[in-house]
Structure 1
Amino acid sequence: MNFEEMKAKIATGEGFIAALDQSGGSTPKALRGYGVSDDEWSGDDEMFARIHEMRSRVITSPCFGGGKVIGAILFEKTMDGMVDGMTTADALKARGVVPFIKVDQGLADEDSGAQMMKPLDKLPALLEKSVAAGMFGTKMRSVIKSANATGIANVVEQQFAVGNQIADAGLVPILEPEYDITAADRGEGEEVLLAEIMKGLDALPEGRQVMLKLAIPVAAGLYNPAIAHPNVLRVVALSGGYSTDEACAHLARNPGMIASFSRGLLQDLRKDLSDEEFDGALGRAIDQIAAASVAG
């Protein structure tokens, strides 16, 4: 797939984007969920090798390339690795899956009820490498924890500023100002978040498109104005800690949003499953998430 073909797939594809981008801090937890205990690896190299084995098994599963997964978000070391004798990006594209790369370097300390991204000092080099690897887009995450207008505005401003830098490099940015689903004031805060997002979208250069990755809103359909905005290629939903069933039930109430789940996709996968069992568990999750993504 060339860039325009990937863009069309993301814009109109009936399916969802898999989040396979757990990085250094979240990898041990992801491995434990897969059935790999901490004493089965030593040091970062072994840790990342084990998570790459898991991701390779997911990507090469017959159900992953069945058309319901239209994109996948990778961690840098996964992009750098090989799957089926190909670069990971090429292995995905061979299966009709559009590759994205996680580019943030983690979260700063909480301020004004939000965690902005740490300075992205490695971004220029990573963007150059990602373009060379044939990636389509990027993803970067901030977290909002309360309905503090200042904190929300700061997060969104940073997301759009870095998003423009990414777009200038030739990639499509996924902006992810995640609202913590456990926040007591999330309904109120999401209204503030939408207003800030719309300001940022209106300020984009004509013809520039971004994507948004957002927590599934308390008020169904809240993000419809963003979904309809000409500067938005697609709006995707994070699972935010919900189980697959919970996330899919909430997502189905929001036509126009598609899933970009991690836990909701991988929660039933274990290293000791036979290939038949593994493919069955992954296939059931893919079917369920895809159905929720096209509901309505």
Structure 2
Amino acid sequence: MPDATMAEQVSKKPGFIAALDQSGGSTPKALAQYGIEPDAYSNDADMFRLMHEMRVRIITSPAFQSHEVLAAILFEKTMDGTVGDVPVPTYLWKNCGIVPFLKIDKGLEEEKDGAQLMKPIPGLDALLERAAKLGVYGTKERSVIRLANPEAIKAIVQQQFDIAAQVASHGLVPIMEPEVLVKSPEKADAEAILAKELALGLDALPGDYPVMLKVTIPEKADLYAEIMKHPRMQRVVALSGGYPLDEACQKLKANHGMIASFSRALVDDLRVSQSDQEFNAILSKVVDRIYDASVNKT
């Protein structure tokens, strides 16, 4: 069963979820944005070490350790890492009061009919068992929708619910992430189809386990309002999806009950060259902005 105190926090308290889960192919780009170019590391081990150092700098910042950040989504290597000699999930919860989640997907299949399913996730049960032992509360798994193709979107939703059931069997709470691309030429129509399929999927859920949902901020404000009320839904959160921070926050404010789970918009202005004082001040300002957009609606 999910931890009751963590469940109360992620489902009811004001705040937002930080996405610190850049992985694999996105890591060099994330490091470059931070100010670390590819010539600064010679292999994957060096690259992931530098990425871990960046994440630890964020996690240990006074700006991050506040009531405003409810939870953090981690990459597998971050989950397995430490802050000093303390495992990252333990540090987040015991030292910061932040609920740890784990990104579990291994990337996307090639696009078919305007959508990209998740690739197979080998060894998923073993990973989920390990995550549960480390004190992780839940998972996040991403697929992508580009076009308003009803059958493709139905397949995306079905895969999300199938993985969610496997996650829940280990006592973890899944965050399903069927992302509609912000540059989709059919974004509003795709989102309308997605909302309908998600509602049907929730109504058909077996058992009694809770789920969460991470979606692109919709073109139609409050599109997911009814889904938020579903008894199996702990929370609906929003990805920034490539929107600049200002635009993401403005759009989020129009969606009542939806909180942020931003990645790029959270870290875009952070640089390795910044002093701790400057780094913390910038992060504090961004955290306050995202918190405000998550809590104070228009």
Aligned amino acid, residue 154 of structure 1: A
Show the counterpart of 2:199.
Answer: 198
> What's the CA shift string for 1:250-285, capped at 9, x where partnerless?
000001100000011000000000000000010000
Using the TM superposition, give the Cα deviation of residue 85 of structure 1 relative to its aligned residue in structure 2, in angstroms.
2.6
- Does structure 1 residue 173 correspond to structure 2 residue 178? no
Aligned amino acid, residue 47 of structure 2: M
Show the counterpart of 2:226.
Answer: 225
How far apart, CA to CA, are the structure 2 residues paired with 1:282 and 1:232?
30
Aligned amino acid, residue 147 of structure 2: S
Superposition pairs of residues 114-125 of structure 1, within 5 angstroms = 114-125=115-126
Identical aligned residues as a percent: 51
How far apart, CA to CA, are the structure 1 residues paired with 2:202 and 2:138?
18
How far apart, CA to CA, are the structure 2 residues paired with 1:117 and 1:125?
18
How far apart, CA to CA, are the structure 1 residues paired with 2:13 and 2:208?
21
- Does structure 1 residue 250 correspond to structure 2 residue 251? yes
How far apart, CA to CA, are the structure 2 residues paired with 1:236 and 1:150?
24
Show the counterpart of 2:34.
Answer: 34
Aligned amino acid, residue 294 of structure 1: V
Show the counterpart of 1:135.
Answer: 136
State the superposition RMSD in angstroms: 0.9
Aligned amino acid, residue 229 of structure 2: A
> What's the CA shift string for 1:56-114, capped at 9, x where partnerless?
00000001111100000000000000013310001100201000000011100001110
Q: TM-score, normalised by structure 1?
A: 0.98
Q: Kindly indicate whether the alpha-carbon contact (under 8 Å) linking 1:153 and 1:196 is maintained by their aligned counterparts in 2.
A: yes
Superposition pairs of residues 1-296 of structure 1, within 5 angstroms = 3-93=3-93, 94-296=95-297
Aligned amino acid, residue 87 of structure 1: P
How far apart, CA to CA, are the structure 1 residues paired with 2:123 and 2:257?
33
Q: Kindly indicate whether the alpha-carbon contact (under 8 Å) linking 1:84 and 1:91 is maintained by their aligned counterparts in 2.
A: no
Q: Kindly indicate whether the alpha-carbon contact (under 8 Å) linking 1:100 and 1:139 is maintained by their aligned counterparts in 2.
A: yes
Q: Kindly indicate whether the alpha-carbon contact (under 8 Å) linking 1:60 and 1:84 is maintained by their aligned counterparts in 2.
A: no
Aligned amino acid, residue 165 of structure 1: Q
SS of the residue 2:205 aligns to: coil
SS of the residue 2:73 aligns to: strand
Using the TM superposition, give the Cα deviation of residue 3 of structure 1 relative to its aligned residue in structure 2, in angstroms.
1.1
- Range with bigger deviation, 117-126 or 252-261: 117-126
How far apart, CA to CA, are the structure 2 residues paired with 1:29 and 1:288?
24
Q: TM-score, normalised by structure 2?
A: 0.98
SS of the residue 2:63 aligns to: helix
Q: Which structure 1 residue ranges, 5 or more long, are not aligned?
A: none
Structure 1 outlier segments of 4+, above 6 Å: none
Aligned amino acid, residue 157 of structure 1: Q
Using the TM superposition, give the Cα deviation of residue 207 of structure 1 relative to its aligned residue in structure 2, in angstroms.
2.8
How far apart, CA to CA, are the structure 2 residues paired with 1:272 and 1:256?
37
